Amino acid sequence: TWRIVILNPAFVGNDDAILSSDPLFAVLIAAGIMGLLACLFLSRAFLNKRHTRAIITSDWRFTGAFLLACALLNTATLTFLGPNTNSLCLLRMWVFHFFYALVFSPLFVKTYRMMKLVGNTSIRRVTITHRQTAIYCIPIVAAQLVILIVFSIVDPSKQMELVMNSGPDVTQRIICSHDTSAFLITELIFEGGLLLLGCILAFKTRNMKGDFGEAKQLIIAMYGIAVVGSVVVIVSNAMGEAQGQANKRFLYAVGIFWGTVFSCCAFVLPRLFQAQEEARQTNRQHVRVTGLQTTELQTTEVQSGAD
């Protein structure tokens, strides 16, 4: 029995990893660091005004936790750098999805708390402490942890080797992938459900007073994240595996940057403008009172001189 083995040289593809020699390497570093710093800057500007009425009524502790989580989500962009090893593939799977849940957890819980405290129409008094609110944040994060732990054991993201035959050329590719699509489907349902929950909370708090309710900010943030996320998912799936994972990670980085910074601005800037307007009104009242006291003092001096 004769066995004929035909050997054909294969090219190693470089479209699946973003290495230091790739132009996208500097772009992703810039996107990750700029997104991180922008969210931290907005967080500091917000927390510096935490003693003003506008910030106090926004439940600044949990809004601050949301802003910090947005900053941490930008670190997922930095994990896209480097070769597709087993450890980096698993790290990318964990960092993005864990911080995604961490972003929404304090935001939804604080909105629910305001809805129960301020939007309550019953005579019975309702009390929800900060400790209880912090405990309410656990289920969303815990559910994401369970999903990540289960799939890290059953079907983790790992290094896979593909051999692509395109005409006379043979290309060897090393990618990060799962054995099945179960993880992708599970995360789409879970994280898509979080977006839907945010829209429901925004609808239920639409009639609350602007000092306490943040329905507009919440729906703007949910709309921005939903649109960007949908575009990224549709475009990345339309690109297929032939385009390489590097281009997809660039799309993910743009989506993370836009979603986090846009959402932070939606919640921080209106409150900062409100706090600034309150400070102006306070200064005007102080000027009026001071002017009135000066006028009274001058009148008293004139009367004393006449006597």
Q: What is the pLDDT of residues 56-70, one digit of tens each?
A: 777 788 888 899 999
pLDDT at 179 over 80: yes
| 33-63 tens-digit pLDDT | 999 999 999 999 988 988 888 787 777 888 8
Q: For 159, phi and psi rounded to 5 degrees?
A: -70, 130
Burial class of residue 121 in the structure, from the number of CB atoms within 10 Å of its CB (0-12 exposed, 13-18 middle, 19+ buried): exposed
Band the pLDDT of 200: cuts 50, 70, 90.
Answer: confident
67/49 Cα distance (integer angstroms): 14
Q: What is the pLDDT of residue 297?
A: 46
Cβ-contact 246, 16 below 8 angstroms? yes
Q: Average pLDDT in the 132-139 region?
A: 86
Cβ-contact 13, 171 below 8 angstroms? yes
What would the two tokens of residue 181 be?
A: 């699509």
Residue 38's nearest CA partner among 76, 63, 73, 62 is: 73
